Amino acid sequence: MDDAPPDPKAPSRAAYSDLDTRQRRRVLATAALRVLVSLAVIIGIFAVIPPRDVADGNATTGIIVGLLLLIGLVGWEIYRTVNDPYPEVRAGTGILVLVAGVIVVFSLFYATMSVSDPAAFNVPLGKSDAVYFTVTTLSTTGFGDITAVSGSARWVVTVQMLFDFVLLVSLARVFVLAAKTGRARRAKGL
């Protein structure tokens, strides 16, 4: 039997639910900081990409790159959730970051479509209008003040609605599974 005291520098194997109040606050503060930094990066990227430049280039390429980056972000967040010492907390923060990523990607789509085809929507969309439209579509609110008019814009909105539905249901399920997997790995000492 090994009676050596535990190494204080070794990572804790305690589950989040087993932590005391101070330790939980520290874990949550770290998670909140991670979310804030991630959101700052995502919003910063959104702020520096002008829709006109995307529209002047190949918009399809921009859309594909945006979706690939979003898929990469999903993969990264799932990987980090499975390997995090507190996967339940990481799953929650991962969902927040991914929703922000979805909003940014679709907002850039809509702003770019509006620049390249001013008749795509009933009003011209700047970045803030595109974010507003994306969020109202994501939340299924749909006030009707901004509407897709052209067939291509309606297809993109339809894709977003389906994507949002699948994303929200799937992400919730995937992150719960990733958290359970992380917890099981931790229990086995991996």
**pLDDT tens digit string along 120-168?**
999 999 889 999 999 999 888 878 899 999 988 888 888 888 888 877 7
DSSP state letter for 1:
-
> How far is Cα 148 from Cα 132, in angstroms, rounded to an integer?
13
Full-prediction pTM beyond 0.85?
no
> pLDDT category, 5, cuts 50, 70, 90?
very low
DSSP state letter for 145:
S
**pLDDT tens digit string along 114-133?**
888 889 999 999 889 999 99
Handedness of CA 5, 28, 44, 144 (dihedral sign): positive
CATH topology for the 49-188 domain: Helix Hairpins (1.10.287)
Residue ranges per domain, the chain? 49-188
